[in-house]
Every structure is written in structure tokens, then in C-alpha cells.
Amino acid sequence: MVELNPQQQQAVDCLQGPLLLLAGAGTGKTTVIVQRIANLVRHGIRAEAILAVTFTNKAAREMRERVSAMLGIQGEKITVSTFHSFCAKVLRRHIQRLGFSRNFSIASDSYQNGLIREVLAQEGLAVPGNDPALFLHRIGLAKAALQSPEDISSQDLPWAANLALVYRRYQLRLQQMDMLDFDDMLCLTVKLWQDCPDILQSYQQQYSHLLVDEYQDTNIAQLKIVTLLAGKTANVAVVGDDDQSIYGWRGANLDNILQFEAYFPNAKIIRLEQNYRSTATILQAANAVIAKNRSRREKHLWSKQPCGEKILGVCCQDEVAEADFLAEYISSQVEDHNWRDFAVLFRSNHQARLLEERFRKAKVPYILVGTNSFYQSKEILDVISFLQIIQNPSDDLSLLRVVNVPPRSIGDSSIAKIREFRQQTNLPLQQLLRNDSVQQQLPPETGKNLQAFLGSLDKARQAFAYPGDLWQKASDFLTEVDYLNGLGRMYKPREDALRRRDNVLEFLNALAEFEEEQRGHATLQDFLENFALQDAQDKHEKEKDTGDNAVTLMTVHAAKGLEFPTVLLAGLERNLFPHQRAVEEGNEEEERRLFYVAITRARKQFLFSFTHKRRIMGKPVAVRPSKFQDELPEELVVYTTPEKAIRPLTQEEFNQYWEEMQKMFEIGKQS
């Protein structure tokens, strides 16, 4: 039997009425959830009457396994599900009451995009500036907030009328084709239960006790599902931590947890604050940072563990030096640890490119989690394809990949015909498509756009015929074919498009860095050859069996829920973390929660790095430390250089460096 602390035991013993369990990072919430479910069964609650809901299939599977291990056959009778899986089952049984077919299909992302494009075309809205992905993202947010097209049209926003029209037509087309999108599963379950109280009552009778994990991540539709199902008896326990609410950009509503008592009067609130993961130093730092937020419930993490090592702040010359330092630091420590004991976290996906590159060079084994490998992401493969067909006009496969990227009115039928041309002749496509007889077999607009694209390739090929200026030439070409702006039309939500744009800009930085290494005499062919060899080496290295004994590279978002003995956070700089766009949009508190999540992943040591300058748009730019550094208690942080981080400083060296750092911070505050 697991020994519980008093607050954990109190939560396990609270079996009736509404319960808000505020579970801070590392406070053993999963153990409490499983023990509480087991206690319900031990007190006579039928296993079939318990519904536990979480957000991911992985979390649901792990919870189900732990409950079954504790309760045996009884545990298998408990319903453990994600919100969407549970709602899909409800709708599959009853959706005909709403006028839909029970044989509905769920629309994929690409299908939804195609449908939005069709609606925009039908309504005469398929014009520059009307991004299908943005329409789809806003419709998704509206559904998460249970807003109808009529609700949208009543808003005093410049795009509200068009959005309401597209939303309405989009929903009509979905229903005509017996399709639901992902968000429909939530909002239609709400509508079903509101319109058909007999169906709601049947589920209330089936499930007498409801438990919801990760409650801070719920949106308004999910809140409504919980309140409807809980009913008047309100035997609902929710587990969450408002300090770890980091998904507002995709519709999560922080007020669901902050205003819990408004939805469930007389709710009992229990705080889990004893941390079993981190040292006292790490917890003191995390507490100090998150206390700066105003929209939160008061909590104070503490631990019986000793203070442990101080937090290390390392200032590097630039991002290359930073990545090299992180690799070297981990290598210097690994003799007494395993590679898997280290995690390198970063705010934005585009930071992964340089980390991967320098870790490979330093022969530090790593795994990239929570994102595709930088060089395998679609937008980077697109850019590589562009460069390949500039360098090699005979590369037909790369041409077919990007001939309609971004969309330039070269439809599927035209691409199919182009593929037919390719099969009928041995001529390279770039040569074949210039043939007048071939052009006459294509729609006039398609032929015109193809010739414009081929002209852009010719222009770039002439520019790349001479060494040097690789970054500028590649940037000019991507501008000419409207690729960077086109990302906004190809991807939703807007944040995804901007993230991919950042990745492309980071890739262009790789061109500039390569040219510097070649002393300005690099050609496009040199770069592509180096890239191909590096990629082949990467694949070869990944075939080796490391037994998962590797450093973890991941975004802070992806690290939520995980823990490591040593956590290294890269790029704690102004405009990078907190992210400039988030601050401009009024989301600084969510950025601070994200920083809190980063700190509380560490068990023994937390280290952050930052730079004097960072390459932006291909050019080195001076940068300043993040304001979050100012929020860390001064007595808990030791600032040092990369060299001294690996070799401890003498007291005299530390005093001198600390004076320099204080001057740097003062300059940063004044700018």
C-alpha cells in the first residue's frame, strides 16, 4: 500500500460532492487519482459507474493500466477515456436525434482545408488575404467556445461577417456529407444533451462519479460536458494546476479552474503542495517566478529534499557557441550519469535545428521529442526541393513536390497530366514543360503560372551560378515564389504557420553559417552536397541502438508532464522566451506559466543559457536577457561563462564576472 501524505489522503477519502484537487508539479497526482478510484470501488461504488476523462490516449492508457493493476477485473470495468473518444461513442449511439446519420465520418485536417477552400470559392471569398487555414482555426475556436455562426456575426470585428458566413456554409456541407470535424464531437455532444434531456439523464444514471484530469486544459465545450454530466449530485472530482495552463492559444479556458466554485457551489478544494521531484532550490525559484502572475490560485511548492545545487545561468557569445556549450557541458557530466538524465528544452521549434547539428558534430546521442526532426519537417523539405531544382534541372521528383507549393492554381488534374508527360518521354520536366505543344494541353491559367514558376527558377539559377551570398539568393527566390507568405495560406492555426516560417528562416541561417565556414566562397552545390552527406550520416547514426540512452531535445510544451535529473533551457532571452508575439498579444502570463513548467521538470539541477547575439534574418543581432531571469531570486542563481561552467570559478573570477553580468542587465533594462 502506498503511503500518502495528509493532503493526498484527504483527496482519496473525499468521495462525494464536487472536489477541486489543485495538484502542483511533482506532487504525486497520478497516484492520488488511481488511489481515489480504487477507494470509490472499495466503498461500494460500482466500477461501471465511474468515468475518468483525460486528454491524451497515452494518459488514458496509463491510467487504465494502473487502475486495472490495483483492482483487477473490477478495474477493467471502469471507463477511462479521452474527451473526444467518449463523445464519439455518445454521438455514434444518439446523433440521429440531431438529424445526422449514425454512419458519420470524421473529417481529416486536409479534408477540412479542402472544404473551406470550396466554400470560399463558392462565396466569392477566395481572394488574397482570406486564408483558409485561418478561417478553419477561428471556426475551431468558436466551436470550442460553443459559439454558433450567429454568435460570430454579432461580434463587432472586421472579419466577423465573412467568418460567420463561411462557418455556416462549412457546417452545412459537413452535414450534407455525413461528416464531423474534431471540434464537432464536443459541441454536438453538448447540443445533444441540452436538446434531449432523456439521453443526458441516461448518462447521468450510468455514471454516478466523474473524474477529470488536466482540468486546466479544458475549453468551454468540455466544461459544459462536465457540468451537464455531473448534474445536481455533482459527484465530480477535477485535478489540475492553473500554474501549468499553457494551451490558451488552442482554446483552453483558464477560468474553468479559477472559477470552479461558480460552476460547482460548495466545492471542496484540496491543495497538493508537497513536491517529491525537485530540490528545494528549484522549487523556491519556481515559486518566485509564478508568484508574479495575477490570474492564479495561491500555491507554494515545498519539499523535504535538501537545497541542492544552485541554478546555473550561462551567457554564450552566440547561438552556435550556446549549442556547443550545451553539448560539451553534458559530455563533461555524463561520466557520473547517463545520457538520458539530461534534457535540453527550448521555447520554439526552430531552435532545434542548430542543437541537432551541433550535438551530432559533438557525437552526443540525442532524441528529438514533440516535433519532427527539423530537417524532416515539411517546410524544410519544400525549401530543399526548391534548391535542388535550381541546382539540378533534371530533378523531376523535387519539381513535382513543389510545383504547386504554395498553391499557384496548378490543380490535381494538371499535375496528373504533368506526371503523364513525364512517363511518356525521357526529357526532364523543366525542359518538357517549356514545349508549346505540351503547354497547349494544359488550362491557360495553369500554363501561365507554370511558365512564371519556371522563369523564377531560371532567374535563381543565374544568381546561384556565382559563389557567395547564399542566404540572400535563397531568400530572394522564396520571396519571388511567395513561399513565406504562402505558409500562412497552407497551415492552420496561425501559430502553426508562423512556427513553420520561423523554421524556414532558421534554415536560411544555416546557409549563412555554412558560407561563413567556407569563408564566403561556398556555392549552392557545395551546400547541398554537405547537407546530403550530413543527412546520410544522421540516418546512419540513428540506426545504432542506443538503448534510448540519449539526451532528450524538446520544446517546453512537449516536456509538460515529464521530469529529468538535469534540465537545460536554451535561449532564455528577450523576445524568444517570453516569445515576442505572445507578449504583444497579451499572453505574458501564459509564457510565465510555460517557464514555470520548464523549471519544474528538473529534479536535481536546472541550467539556462542565453546569448550576447543571435542570428536573425541571416544577420547577427545583439540580444538581451529575458525578463524572466530578473524574476529568479538572485541568491539562487550563479551566472558564469561556458568555460567556467565546465571548470568551477574561483571566488575572484566569480566576483569579476558577476559585476559584468550586473552591468549587462542594467543595459538591458534601459533599452
Catalytic residues, by residue number, are: 29-30, 213-214, 244, 601
* Amino acid identity, position 209: H
The number of residues in the chain equals 671
Give φ, ψ of 356 to 5 degrees. -55, -45
Distances from the Cα of 354 to the Cα of 383, 534, 570, 668, angstroms: 17, 13, 11, 25
Neighbours of 110 (CB within 10 A): 8
Question: Would you state the cell numbers that stand for residue 313, as one nine-digit string?
Answer: 545561468
Distance CA 110, CA 483 (A): 19
Q: What is the DSSP letter of 47?
A: G
String of DSSP letters for 484-548: HHHHHHHSSSHHHHHHHHHHHHHHHHHHHHHHHHTTT---HHHHHHHHHHHHHHHHHHHHS--TT
**Residue 368: CA count within 13 A, CB half-sphere:** 21
Distances from the Cα of 353 to the Cα of 142, 373, 377, 652, angstroms: 34, 8, 11, 37
Residue spans of alpha helices (H) in 366-426: 378-391, 396-402, 412-424
Neighbours of 201 (CB within 10 A): 12
DSSP strands (E only) in 164-295: 179-180, 209-212, 236-240, 268-272
Distance CA 267, CA 565 (A): 37
String of DSSP letters for 588-615: HHHHHHHHHHHHTTEEEEEEEEEESEEE
Distances from the Cα of 384 to the Cα of 377, 401, 470, 483, 531, angstroms: 11, 11, 13, 13, 9
446: Cβ–Cβ under 8 A, 6 or more apart, which residues? 409, 410, 411, 414
Q: Which of 620, 628, 551, 557 is nearest to 589 (CA)?
A: 628
Q: Which of 83, 78, 73 is nearest to 37 (CA)?
A: 78
Residues 117 and 130: beta-carbon distance below 8 Å: no
Q: What is the DSSP letter of 616?
A: E
Residues 389 and 453: beta-carbon distance below 8 Å: no
Q: Which of 489, 488, 495 is nearest to 582 (CA)?
A: 495
Distance CA 101, CA 94 (A): 9
Q: Residue 563, Cα to own-chain centre: how many angstroms? A: 18
Q: Which of 102, 457, 21, 500 is nearest to 268 (CA)?
A: 21
Distance CA 473, CA 71 (A): 65
Residues 146 and 224: beta-carbon distance below 8 Å: yes
Q: 473518444: which residue's cell?
A: 85
Residues 609 and 572: beta-carbon distance below 8 Å: yes
